[in-house]
Structure formats: C-alpha cells, structure tokens
Chain A
Amino acid sequence: MSTEKRIQERDVVIQTIAKLMIPFIQLYGLYVMVGTEGAGGGFQGGTVLAASFILLVVAFGVDKGRMKMPEGWNAVFKSLGLYLYAGVGGLLCIIFSLGKAEYLNYCAIPLAKIIGGPATRGFWVGNIVEVGIGVTVMAAFVSIFYDLVRKEEKKEAKE
C-alpha cells in the first residue's frame, strides 16, 4: 500500500479542522514562548509548536510534513537554538570583555552600556534565551517524531 493512496483515503473533516487549527496553535506557541509576563516559557512554547507540526503530519501524511518542515532545517534549528543560548550569549560576554567576564554574565554585552545592566539581563533572558530554548525543543521533538514515523512506514512497505 503506497503512501499516496493512504493520503487520498483520509477524512476531509480531519484535514479541514487541522487546516483551521494549525495557525492558531502556532500563534499560541509563539505567545507562550516569547515575553515574560504571560505564563509558560521556552520549553512549553517549543512543545506547543512541535505539537502543531505533529498534527500536520497526522492529518496530511508524512510527505507533506517533510515538505513544510524539512529535516535539514530541523538539524539546523536544533543547533541554532542552543547557539542562541550558549553560543551567542556566552561568546558575546567573553569576546567583548576580553575574557574577563564570567560565562553567561549578560551585563558584559555592549548593549548594557546603552540601556543599563539590569535591563539588558531582562531583555536577553525574556526575548533571546527563551526563544533559543523553544527552537531547540521544537526541532528536537519534530525530528524524533519523523524518525519514528519512517520506521513504521518501512515496516508497512515490507508487508
């Protein structure tokens, strides 16, 4: 049984509801992920975003899912999120203070000279660190889901 046939047999109700819901789920994921005044944080927002892609795969099949969220980009996003946290923040602190500042001490970033140290810490934590966490969590969960889906497909093809 090929993948193409199984997609055509899917329910039109599921596909329509998924089409309606996915944009709102992603918007909600971004709302949870970015900013500090609402509930949640990076881990929760990333999980909600990953759930939207999983819903896409469940409704439309894994081929369309791979078209919307390619695996190469998944690998890039996984590293990019950790970079935003560990790499950019840490490297900026170390480079701009010539190795004097502690690692992850955001007051050493040049932005602190413009808006002050505490405001820099708040901005960095709320808008960059949390987004980095969310991007990594989203890409990791989607990538694990793709790998498990492929295993099932191979089994069906053998039968």
Chain B
Amino acid sequence: MKKLHLLPTVALISVILLGAMFMYVVEDIPAFGDPNSPPNKYVPLPISIDADGLADSLDAGVVPAELKSEIAEIGYTRENHFPSLEEGNYKIDKTEEGWDVLIMKEEKYYPGPEKWYFIKEELGGKLKVYRYSIPVRWQEKTEEETELPNMVTSGLADYRSYDTMYEEAVIFTAAISVIMLLRRREKL
C-alpha cells in the first residue's frame, strides 16, 4: 500500500509547487507593447546626416531627398523587396522622441499603413534612422542570437516563449479538469 501512495503524493506536490512558481512569475512578465522588450526594439541603420533644414521638412510631412538617397544607398530599395518611399505612399507621425514613417502595405486585401522607419535627432545635430518590422528583424537575427538553423523553432520557444508556456499550461489544465470531472474513485 505504501508504494501506491508515493506517486500521487509526488504529483500533488509538483502541482502545488508549479502553481506557486506561476504566482511568483507574474511579477516578472514584461508589459504588452513595451518598446524596450527584445522583439520591439529598433534596428539602427548605418545612416547619419546633418539635421539642419531636414527637421522642418520632416515636420511638414515630407521625407527629404538626401535621406531617401541614403536609404537607397544601403540597399533598401524596391528591387530588394523593401517598400519604396515614393510621394503619397507614406505619411509621417510626429512623436515626442522623433518621427515615425508609416508606409502603405502592398497587399490586396488588407492595405494599411505600417510602421517602417523611426527617425530621431541626436544630440550633435545628426539625424539617425532606425527601423521597426519585427518579422524581418526576427529573420535576420535568429541565427546570430540563438544559433538555431530553424527560424520557426526559435520563434516558437524563444521569442514567443511566454505564449508557448501558457499554451502548454492550458493543455495541462484541460487534462487536470478531465481527471476531476470523470475519474471518480478512491485512488488517483
């Protein structure tokens, strides 16, 4: 009889410890949409040009020609499958820190503006250009950051690990609920 009681006791203790663990961890989860969390960080582009005169143009909602040619020079062109900065194709939102450049998506069914560049004025009077676009960043950096050849695995279990962990917890909860509802007998 002693051997029969060992496994249920171990299982019960591990379930209780796991619950306590989750309660501790709730404190540690980053907020949704946090701009400093790893998937949302900006990617700096190797561009820095003098800001005199360009800031007014950006305030008026027009990307200056110097900036366009700099962006085209580092390979962000239409031929390389990057969205083009043609007139009327983008709009600029001014925020507290800089300017967001939103470019229309070239999709048939869900067209809409998408955040692409973030332009910021540095202290020395230089303009610095950053980039959003989480999927592109994910594709580019997954080899460097996780040394995994498979982008899907790193996305599933590393970049979106909270999501996957709670999916697993959902399956665990479903199994425990079925045990509680259907298994009615003396021993577990």
Complex Cα spacing A73 to B21, Å:
22
Are B172 and A150 touching (Cβ within 8 A)?
A: no
Are B146 and A118 touching (Cβ within 8 A)?
A: yes
Question: A68-96 CB contact bits vs B (8 Å, 1 = yes)?
Answer: 00011101101111110111001100000
| Segment from B5-13, B81-89, B128-136 that makes contact with A | B5-13
Are B7 and A72 touching (Cβ within 8 A)?
A: yes
Are B147 and A122 touching (Cβ within 8 A)?
A: yes
Are A121 and B146 touching (Cβ within 8 A)?
A: yes
Query: Does A51 sit at the interface, judged by CB under 8 A?
Result: no
Query: Does B165 sit at the interface, judged by CB under 8 A?
Result: yes
Are B165 and A85 touching (Cβ within 8 A)?
A: yes
Are A147 and B7 touching (Cβ within 8 A)?
A: no
Secondary structure type dominating chain B contacts:
helix
Return the contact of A103 from the options B28, B148, B188 (Cβ within 8 A): B28
Return the contact of A36 from the options B144, B150, B171, B188 (Cβ within 8 A): B150
Query: Does B96 sit at the interface, judged by CB under 8 A?
Result: no
- What is the minimal beta-carbon distance from B180 to any residue of chain A, in angstroms? 10
Are B179 and A143 touching (Cβ within 8 A)?
A: yes
Query: Does B174 sit at the interface, judged by CB under 8 A?
Result: yes
Say which size band chain A's interface belongs to.
35 or more
Most central of B10, B18, B152, B161 by chain A CB within 10 Å = B161
Are B182 and A148 touching (Cβ within 8 A)?
A: yes
Query: Does B154 sit at the interface, judged by CB under 8 A?
Result: yes
| Segment from A4-12, A19-27, A56-64, A134-142 that makes contact with B | A134-142
Complex Cα spacing A65 to B51, Å:
74
Are B149 and A86 touching (Cβ within 8 A)?
A: no
Complex Cα spacing A82 to B148, Å:
23
Are B144 and A118 touching (Cβ within 8 A)?
A: yes
* A118-B146, A122-B148 as given contacts; A87 in contact with B25, CB under 8 Å: no
Question: B174-188 CB contact bits vs A (8 Å, 1 = yes)?
Answer: 111011001100001
Complex Cα spacing A154 to B22, Å:
37
Beyond contacts A81-B168, A104-B165, A147-B182: 10 other A-B pairs, Cβ-Cβ < 8 A, are: A78-B172, A78-B175, A79-B172, A87-B18, A118-B144, A118-B145, A121-B146, A121-B154, A136-B171, A143-B178
